Chain A
Amino acid sequence: MTYLSVHNLSVRLKRGEPLLRSVSLQVAAGQVHGLVGESGAGKSMIGKAILGILPRSIEISGGEIVLDGVDLLSLPPAERRRRIGASCALIPQDPLTALNPTRRIGPQITNRLVDILGWKRQAAEARARQLLLDVQIAEPDRVMRQYPHELSGGMRQRILIASAFAAEPKLIVADEPTTALDVTVQKQILQLIAGMQARHGTALLFVTHDLGVVSKICQSLSVLYAGKVIEDTGVRRFFAGPAHPYSAALLAATPKYTDPLAGLNPVPEAVLSAVQAEVARG
């Protein structure tokens, strides 16, 4: 069943240039959908628009964001925030800046449960302890008393994953959750996210520029260029042979250690100008 459905979503700088051009995509419960593209293509912007956390200078100029059958954009702001807060969560890119450096880990996980969802503090703490065990943190009680700077990057990202799943969200937006980590830690974190997502049956929107990662954890993906969806397809079909020349060029840029000659080819100028013309035509 489709949990999140975005129709013709357009986002622009206030009275200025467009940043997302009529983007449509769907994510079903229990599915992982990848958002792929170069930096600046608008991948993170889609996640931010869905979660209602666009910067003040940017506005939604058209389209629908349908979450569980309700168009979020038709709701009054307070009601929209309540719905998003109760059913969505974010796993951010940079685990250092996403945690408050002046507060201990424990309250940073439990606050949302207590303040927004009205849980009792003790219940929230018990839940946090369980979640930290789920993300393979061996001593949850000690970690909950620590500050972010006392923990490694991988540990911090585990904590953010735990806190994203804390309130049993139906949709999680993961915004490049492993780009700041090295490959071995990246693998552990992806295993965790995929495992938690499958157990909880969450719909997951996974923003990344790494097609290797997409091929491992997504069932479907959208390729973006300059705020426009260039290709929206299933993972198997995509890796068997992308339909759009730009997607094919992106795949050719992805390095492969099994073949020293494959990969790391920049997107050719001709492909770039063709896709730019296509975006300009609308």
Chain B
Amino acid sequence: MDTLWQNIVELFTSERTFSIMRALILAGAGFVAARLASGAFTRMAGKRLTAHHLLVLRRVIYYGILALFTVSVLFELGFNLSVLVGAAGILSVAIGFASQTSASNIISGLFLLGEQPFAVGDTVRVSGTEGEVLAIDLLSVKLKTADNLYVRIPNETMLKSEVVNLTRFPIRRFDLMLGIAYKEDIDAVRDILFDIARRNPLCLEEPKPHFVFTGFGASSLDIQFSVWAQRENFVEVRNTLQVEIKKVFDEKGIEIPFPHMSLSAADATAPFPVKIVEPRDTSAQG
């Protein structure tokens, strides 16, 4: 019994136990300090920095403090750091081969942060997916689509593919492709379109709307009508403008041609009448 008691006392008083406890306290303190420091930074610099910069700097502070404490913890536990660093060198080659994708994503992420083609809060389109940027992380970029889906795109894909930032500039152009019947007066249609844009307060007066006659289509005269709008009003302009054009065209009797398709039951359709005629006498011409 005495031996057991002695062993317990030894366990709690030994240098090793103290160093493990110190390491645990350091690790806990590290987490708390990192959290407090990044929180305090957010509160202090929150209004002066953009959401993107804030996110990046907060992460740098958090992981930086955590790394320092981790080194201290390892030191406290008696690890020889120089050996660890040497081992890490060899290990990193092995890890590098094994985690090629992750490493490539991390490096792509660093390039993305440096180049800043978009920031948190921007709306981007990447290979057909359109959404608001929620976060730019170490391995991936997270998007929220308009139908409220969470999309994770690896940083490597972001760097390799074409990224369209829809909210970079304050104004955007809406191109409406329109076809009118061949019988219509193009000048009259042009005046009507400009008047519709003038009456819509969300269509910018300057830069002026553009009217481009794009060509003679298979069944219509093809027109491109482009108007500018404030970025936030883009969808509303697209809706109101097209609805108004349809309304005014209907009022003025301007035809928008579209392909017609007739469907009928086979027995109700009479076959094309075929009439056999005598060949024409061509000897007189020759």
Q: Do A and B bind each other?
A: no
| Chain A residues within CB distance 8 Å of chain B | none
